[in-house]
């Protein structure tokens, strides 16, 4: 199978203040959540998270329908009760903007940051986390490429 | 066209550390609201900047993170 990539684009890591006062850099991205209205947000891009998380207040404004109940297990194995739903997002930079749906968990706990995990997002791109340059590099690729009128 | 990327790129180290642990809203590359919850920030911007599309997010203040096994 051949993969045809679109133009790559990159975003800089963002500084995060630790409780110690030190500053480290983490991969964060801007994106638009779409529903009853469009909300521009920034989120942690977390390759170690299976799913994405958005706060309940945002899910309510967007009108995300509850498709189930589940639990999230975080660091240390603590669980958090959550609703499940589907969010439409728009993400990109410059001439490369893409819209697609991702599954989201909506924890009962109010004060959670927005996290974009792997499911529904990472399969749209080849993603490189460059610690050396503090950049995330995205390459959108298309599968099902036609060659001589056949899908290869 | 709205300016989501320029709003995002305006989050400098100085600004991020100043409001660490809070939700912030950025309009025209300036942090115009900060509070302890998304809803508070959202309501402030809706009231004070009608017609504008802010960039909203939580600026983390945390401990270093590792995955548990």
Residue of B nearest to A38 (CA): B53
Whole-number Å distance between alpha carbons of A66 and A68 = 6
Of A11, A23, A55, the CB nearest to B13: A23
Of A12, A19, A77, the CB nearest to B61: A19
Residues (pLDDT < 50) of chain B are 1, 69
Query: What does the domain layout of chain A look like in residue ranges?
Result: 4-151
Residue A63's pLDDT band (cuts 50, 70, 90): very high
B7/A18 CB distance under 8 A? no
Residue A152's pLDDT band (cuts 50, 70, 90): very low
Residue of A nearest to B46 (CA): A39
A16/B38 CB distance under 8 A? no
Tokens of A55: 């706060």
A96-124 pLDDT per residue, tens: 889 999 999 999 876 788 999 999 999 88
- Which stretches of chain B are DSSP H helices? 4-9, 13-18, 38-48
Tell whether domain A4-151 is in CATH 2.40.70.10.
Answer: yes
Residue of A nearest to B64 (CA): A18
CA distances (Å), A80 to each of A37, A83, A114, in order?
Answer: 27, 10, 15
What's the pLDDT at A2? 61
- Residues with Cβ within 8 Å of B61's Cβ and at least 6 positions away in sequence, in order, are A16, A17, A18, A19, B20, B21
What's the pTM? 0.88
Residue A150's pLDDT band (cuts 50, 70, 90): low
A125-147 pLDDT per residue, tens: 999 999 999 999 999 876 544 44
What is the distance in angstroms between the Cα of B48 and the nearest Cα belonging to chain A? 16
Whole-complex ipTM: 0.90
- Residues with Cβ within 8 Å of B43's Cβ and at least 6 positions away in sequence, in order, are none
CA distances (Å), A81 to each of A54, A107, B68, in order?
Answer: 13, 6, 19
């Amino acid at each position: 199978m051949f993969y045809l990539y679109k133009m790559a684009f990159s975003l800089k890591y963002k500084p995060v203040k630790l409780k110690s006062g030190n500053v480290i850099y983490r991969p964060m991205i801007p994106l638009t959540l779409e529903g009853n209205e469009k909300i521009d947000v920034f989120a942690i891009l977390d390759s170690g998270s299976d799913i994405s998380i958005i706060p309940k207040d945002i899910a309510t404004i967007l009108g995300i329908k509850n498709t189930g109940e589940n639990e999230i297990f975080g660091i240390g194995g603590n669980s958090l009760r959550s609703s499940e739903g589907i969010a439409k997002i728009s993400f990109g930079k410059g001439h490369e903007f893409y819209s697609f749906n991702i599954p989201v968990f909506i924890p009962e706990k109010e004060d959670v940051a927005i996290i974009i995990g792997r499911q529904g997002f990472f399969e749209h791109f080849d993603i490189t986390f460059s610690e050396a340059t503090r950049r995330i590099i995205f390459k959108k690729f298309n599968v099902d490429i036609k060659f001589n009128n056949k899908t290869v | 066209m709205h300016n989501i990327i320029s709003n995002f790129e305006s989050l400098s180290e100085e600004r991020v550390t100043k409001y660490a642990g809070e939700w912030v809203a950025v309009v025209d590359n300036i942090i115009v609201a900060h509070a302890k919850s998304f809803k508070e920030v959202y309501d402030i911007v809706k009231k004070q900047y009608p017609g504008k599309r802010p960039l909203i997010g939580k600026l983390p203040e945390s401990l270093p993170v590792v995955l548990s096994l």
